[in-house]
Structure 1
Amino acid sequence: MIVKNIESKIRLATVLSIGSFVSALVICVAVLAYAHKQVSIARQSIYILDNGIPILAKQTNMQMNRPAEYKAAVELFHNLFFSLTPDDKQIEYQMKKAMYLADESGVFQYNNLKEKGYFNSILSSSSVLTLHTDSVLVDLNNKFTYYGKLKIDRRSATITRSLITEGNLMDIPRSDNNSHGVLITNWKTLENKDLSNVSKNTF
């Protein structure tokens, strides 16, 4: 009888030990899974800096905001490239910033315009170029089409041109020079034609 009681107690202790171990294991796995999920959510959050202090702007999936970032990157590049003033230092500064946002296709167009004397003509004619964005379309394959109007204000006339370009968008790591983490590739101009040419009084 005593032997049977001892066997029952040993069996009960074994069952309790195994049960406790399994319960602890399940709890550990659940905690790890929850912690991993919270870390993933935190990485998808967007923060803003207020005097060097990070403040949570809004918890959102960064990929949900990607289409807006694509359009902002395309618009920024085109404004840097086309909105120019008759200041050679400023033009050089803007071209340098623009080249961080595009691959060799942007460098090719820049060098092509430079060889044709485009930037020198801006300086010699004291032209002020202002680009107005009409729309930026981005498809599912990250190919974009940019539509805008370029106003060229010269001493003698004001010219308005229709500007249409296209290219592809590639995700790259964010940096100080490319805050959106978007690189424009295969960029080319489809249309750059005069819409109006209004002469000014030169009295």
Structure 2
Amino acid sequence: MSEASETIGTRRWFWPEDLTAHRVSLRAMLIASIEDEGILGYGDEITDADGDAFADELARGLRDGSTHVLLGEDDSGVFAMCVMRRPAMANCRHLAEVSKAYLAPRARGSGAVLELALAVAERLTWIGVERIQIDVREHSHAHRVWRGLGFETFGVLDDYSRYGGARHRGHFMTVTVPDLLRNTRTRIGRRRQTADTP
């Protein structure tokens, strides 16, 4: 299977088969998501070894087919990442989970999150996944974004994460892939209509 790629405006979305050329960008995305409080209380500063371990884990998942990595690139470099994983058990292959997603601040508010969600939905349709799940910290930016894309909470964990002496609730959310595809296409269409209105 060749690397899938789609260009929208000045943004290019692609699913690399080999992460060798993207290791530095992946480490930068991980660091940025922690600094942006996407992950609370990760600990010490991310080391080169942490970044290498993250990239190595993704590379192993790509090789065994359990992981799919979407990257978004613009004129300034990689600005988005979405990591999806599928269960190994045959009776759960209709499911996938977003295990990590990040959109750089420079792309926020530009419609890039809709493009990311559309690319994810199209990929999942192509590989035969019917439902996608994610878990997020309550009231986080990610919680609001995924809810806006049609994800609904199916479970809440009060002791989801701990940081600064406080416990944070987490939401486990899901949406069917056809609904995600429809939701993102509808929102992209509305956005384009608004942009075209004089």
Asked if Structure 1 and Structure 2 have the same fold, meaning a TM-score greater than 0.5 normalized by the shorter chain, the answer is no
Question: As a proportion of its length, which structure holds more helix?
Answer: 1
Q: TM-score range by the shorter chain?
A: under 0.3
Q: Could you tell me the TM-score, scaled by structure 2's length?
A: 0.22
Q: Could you tell me the TM-score, scaled by structure 1's length?
A: 0.21
Between structure 1 and structure 2, the one with the greater Rg is 1
